[in-house]
Amino acid sequence: MSWNAPSSSSGGAGSSTHVSAPTTISKRPKYSKFTQQELPACKPILTPGWVISTFMLVSIVFIPIGVASLFASRHVVEIVYRYETDCIPPASRRDKVKYIQSIEDKICTKNLTVPKHMKQPIYVYYQLDNFYQNHRRYVKSRSDGQLKYVSSENETQDCKPEDVANRISIVPCGLIAWSLFNDTFNFSLNNQQLAVNKRGISWKSDREHKFGKNVYPKNFRSGTLVGGAQLDSSIPLSEQEDLIVWMRTAAFPTFRKLYGKIEVDLEENEQIQVTLRNNYNTYSFNGKKKLVLSTTTWLGGKNDFLGIAYLAVGGLCFFLAMAFTIVYLFKPRQLGDPTYLSWNQNPGGH
């Protein structure tokens, strides 16, 4: 059977004399490196040298970044005041929900001490805990079309139950807008009012592209469900920055939202008096409320995690690189030593 070997030369010679030689029809495919699996390839081999240098490189890059991040984070001065219980008169603390739902003026004041010099701008945040702004039903309960275009006023199908009131569409509709945060903070230093600048607290792209300049609140909070803040129907949505900030829904149930900026420096040990209007009902779901005053750096607010993570990873890599170097020096494995092949170590069996 061996004469049918696919050698084209012998095929021609073999049957040439009497029968007309068959033209050699070769089915061999055209040669290409692609089809023949011979593409030039980089064959990375993770040798000890590579391992050590990788870890070394990582540690060299990571440790400075870690130091810089940690330094930046430590540079931030932050004052956090948790007020959801403080701001309820002791007498009403047994039934907080009833208190918060009453119509009386719920003012409370608090003196905060500045721990360190705070350079302006000082950012004022409110922080809510256990508030699921990322709940699926909550996230979709808005109408982006309506926020931007007057003509899309009636696109309220996602907004139920806050879609229409008195058969007129609500602008802005939906649960997000309806639940707008409505505690207010006033600051005074030595009986002098500290101005809180509420301009420019939202991302520019939101202001300019998501909220229309000629869209005005309409029919807002006129329904039976008591919600959050009321909107001034004479100001277009694109200038209602509290709403814009609120409507960039947070990713986690604990979140901070920017409230405003204080544009004066605060000195160490200065007392600032905060006058709070505690209106927002987080009591029915045990939510916490906090007031945060914070400065920022290039990395944003207080954020030790990044610095520590960088330093830890960099340090670990440095340690590993050192350990591997020592092992490499004392017990190197010769690369490509055929005695390591299993059939050389254990001849005959496997």
Partner 1 sequence: MPVEFFRCLATCHTVATKGEESPETIRYLATSPDEAALVTAAKNFGFFFFRRTTTSVCVRETNVEKMGMFHDVLYDILNILEYSSSRRRQSVICQYPDGRLVLYCKGADNVIFERLADGNDDIKTKTREHLENFGAAGLRTLCLAYKDLSLHAYKSWNEKLIEAKTSLKDREEILDEVAELIEKDLVLIGCTAIEDKLQAGVPSCIETLSRAGIKIWILTGDKMETSINIAYACRLINNDMKQLIMSSETDDIREIESRGDQVEIATYMRAAVKNQLKKLLEEAENSQQSYHPNLALVIDGKCLTYALDPSLRGMLLNLSLDCSSVICCRVSPLQKAQVTSLIKKDAGRITLSIGDGANDVSMIQAANIGVGIIGLEGRQAVMASDYAISQFRFLTDLLLVHGRWSYLRICKVVTYFFYKNLVFALTQFFYTFQTGFSGQRFYDDSFQTLYNIIFTTLPVIAVGLFEKDVSASLSKKFPELYKEGTRNTFFKLTVWMEVAVVSLFQSLVVYYFVVASSTNSVHSSGKMLGLWDVSTMAFNCLVVIVNLRLLLMCDAITRWHYTSVGLGLLAWLAYILVYSGVYSKGIYSAFCVSASTAYFYVTFLLVVVVALLPDILYKGVQRWFFPLNYQIIQECHGHEPDQSSALLQIRNQLTPDEARSFQVAQLPRETNTGFAFDSPGFESFFGEKAGVYAPQKAWDVARRASMLRPKPKTPRRD
168 beta partners: 165
Phi-psi region of 166 (alpha: psi -120 to 50; beta: other; left: phi over 0): left
Which residue's CB is nearer to partner 1, number 279 or number 296?
296
φ and ψ of 280, to 5 deg: -80, 130
Shortest approach of partner 1 to residue 143 CB, angstroms?
10
CA distance 100 to 284: 10
Q: Are strands 255-262 and 122-129 parallel, antiparallel or unpaired?
A: antiparallel
- Site for partner 1, residues 230 to 269, rule: CB under 8 A: 245, 248-258, 261
The residue within the footprint of partner 1, chosen from 91, 226, 329, 341 (CB under 8 A), is 341
Measured distance CA(80)–CA(294) in Å, rounded: 8
- 297 touches partner 1 by CB under 8 A: yes
Query: Quick check: 20 binds partner 1 (CB under 8 A)?
Result: no
Q: Does 211 bind partner 1 (CB under 8 A)?
A: no
Please identify which residue in 56, 63, 65, 196 interacts with partner 1, judged by CB under 8 A: 65
- For 209, which DSSP code? I
Angstrom distance (rounded) from CA 88 to CA 83 = 9
Binding mask 83-122 for partner 1 (x = CB under 8 A): --------------------------------------x-
| 294 lies in the binding site for partner 1 (CB under 8 A) | yes
Which of 44, 90, 347, 349 touches partner 1 (CB under 8 A)?
44
Q: Does 196 bind partner 1 (CB under 8 A)?
A: no
Backbone CA torsion sign across 237, 242, 243, 244 = positive
Minimal distance, residue 266 CB to partner 1, in Å: 15
Residue 16 or 269: the one with the smaller Cβ distance to partner 1 is 16
Q: What is the rounded CA–CA span in Å between residue 36 and residue 30?
A: 10
Cα 128 to Cα 80: distance, rounded to the nearest angstrom = 12
Are 217 and 233 in contact by the 8 Å Cβ rule? The answer is yes
Identity of the residue, 108 or 322, whose beta carbon is nearer to partner 1 in the bound complex = 322
Number of residues that bind partner 1 (CB under 8 A): 99
Using CB under 8 A as the binding rule, whether residue 226 contacts partner 1 is answered as no
User: How far apart are CB 195 and partner 1 at their closest, in Å?
Assistant: 16
Round to whole Å and give the CA distance between 97 and 101.
Answer: 6
CA 93 to chain centre: 36
**Shorter beta-carbon distance to partner 1: residue 165 or 203:** 203
Q: Give, in degrees to the nearest 5, the angle at Cα 99 between 258 and 85.
A: 55
Residue 54 in contact with partner 1, rule: CB under 8 A: yes
Residue of 102, 113, 134, 197 interacting with partner 1 (CB under 8 A): 134
Q: CA 328: distance to chain centroid?
A: 42
- 310 is a contact residue toward partner 1 (CB under 8 A): yes
Choose the binding region for partner 1 from 39-47, 104-112, 213-221, 231-239 (rule: CB under 8 A): 39-47
Counting contacts by CB under 8 A, is residue 349 touching partner 1? no
